[in-house]
Amino acid sequence: MSDFTPTSSTTCEPTRPNGAAKIDKYFRAMSKHEASDLHMKAGTPPKFRLNGTIRNIDGTVLSNEQIESMIFEIMGEENISDYRDRGSVDFAYQLSGADRYRINVFRQRGQTSIAARRVPREILSFKQLNLPESLANLAGLHQGLVLVTGITGSGKSTTIAAMLEEINRTRACHIMTLEDPIEFLYQDKMAFVNQREIGRDVENYHDALKYMMREDPDVVLIGELRDQETYGAALAAAETGHLVFGTIHSSSAGGTVARILELFPEEQRALIRSSLVFNLQAIVCLKLLPGLRPEIPRVPACEIMICNGMVRKMIADGRDNELSAVIRSSPNEGMVDFTESIRSLVNKEWISVKTAYAAAPNPDELRMRLKGISVGGGGIVG
């Protein structure tokens, strides 16, 4: 029997009676060294991303034939066919008793390259992830839309997994996830969890979203709100009394509102803004910063906006550029802006001052806060 369980985005999963796949040694090395990503490109050595930095694993130069031999072994016939037709394919793969891997295979300059993201087997808590405990309050919501934003690799999936696992651990309910591909795997605890993978369990997002409401979920994760259809479905689910989590690529709370509106034509934006006013519960924006401590090599900085009365009024009035001031002036409600989050990380000696200034939205404002000067209604910082 093979020592791994492959999971692809198709219904055809490969079997290898002769033992482990050749690429497994790289995945096991990723787990051992806690690398976040593996990159393979013909004519160069394979590389890991370690603590945010790309590094060669060794001096071994891989040929295109070697890369294709390794990756085709775990892809399955339908994924190989899709890759050859389209030049790119996503799927997930898991080693038995080890971590899971989200893999993108893509063609560049006529050759095959690989980008694989490691998804840790263990779902970490807010404390283990060094995230604010106030996020547990979001897991305690029963209705509305919670958005987690940031660039690729900023910790969005890990943060949502922590919130879903908190719900799984504490609430008797039905959690439904729609993902492409499935990342974290959940074991039923107080809740029960159904996870649908696009391309494997359901053909596409359109069908998954069409049938979602008939499947009686209480909590829904829509992996990425990438277009009108996915955002519209998330909003419809929130409007009908569900708690909905989603991710979106943006760098601030105000920018997230703008990004959502950009998904829709001009004539629909007033209606979407009104829907946000009534259904948006929170926006959590993330950045991962290099840490000073060996035991905490990367540290999250967070902007958390909770939709209180003032936030809803700002959104309703189209004053999205003023949301940062509301966040800054509402720390007692669990809100925090990036500058304050970064200042706190410096004071805890988790990140360097140089890193802080490089990551701060406004370095001059950070400089004043580090000196304990009150900034824009945010209170005395000390």
| pLDDT tens sequence across 311-356 | 999 999 999 999 999 999 998 899 999 999 999 999 999 999 999 9
CA distance 369 to 136: 27
Say which CATH number the domain at 94 has: 3.30.450.90
| pLDDT tens sequence across 80-132 | 999 999 999 999 998 877 899 999 999 999 999 999 999 988 999 999 999 99
- Contact assessment for residue 75 and residue 91, using Cβ atoms and an 8 Å cutoff: yes
| pLDDT tens sequence across 174-225 | 999 999 889 999 999 999 999 999 888 988 888 888 888 889 999 999 988 8
Q: What is the mean pLDDT of residues 252-274?
A: 93
With 70 as the cut, is the pLDDT of residue 16 above it? no
The boundaries of the domain holding residue 12 are 4-119
Q: Are strands 219-222 and 192-197 parallel, antiparallel or unpaired?
A: unpaired
Residues 349 and 263 grouped into a single domain: yes
Say which CATH number the domain at 219 has: 3.40.50.300
CA distance 37 to 95: 16
Closest listed residue to residue 343, CA positions, set 296, 306, 307, 379? 379
Last residue of a domain, one of 84, 119, 154: 119
Confidence (pTM): 0.84
CA distance 163 to 123: 10
Q: Is there a domain that residue 375 lies in? A: no
Residues 169 and 98 grouped into a single domain: no
Residues 18 and 59 grouped into a single domain: yes
Query: Long-range pairs for 224-233 at CB < 8 Å and ≥24 separation?
Result: 224/180, 224/248, 225/147, 225/260, 225/263, 227/263, 228/263, 228/264, 229/205, 230/205, 231/260, 231/263, 233/209
Q: Which residue has the higher pLDDT, 287 or 58?
A: 287
Three-state secondary structure call for residue 158 = helix
Q: Report CA torsion sign: 239, 245, 249, 250.
A: positive
The reported pLDDT for the residue numbered 375 is 57
The reported pLDDT for the residue numbered 369 is 92
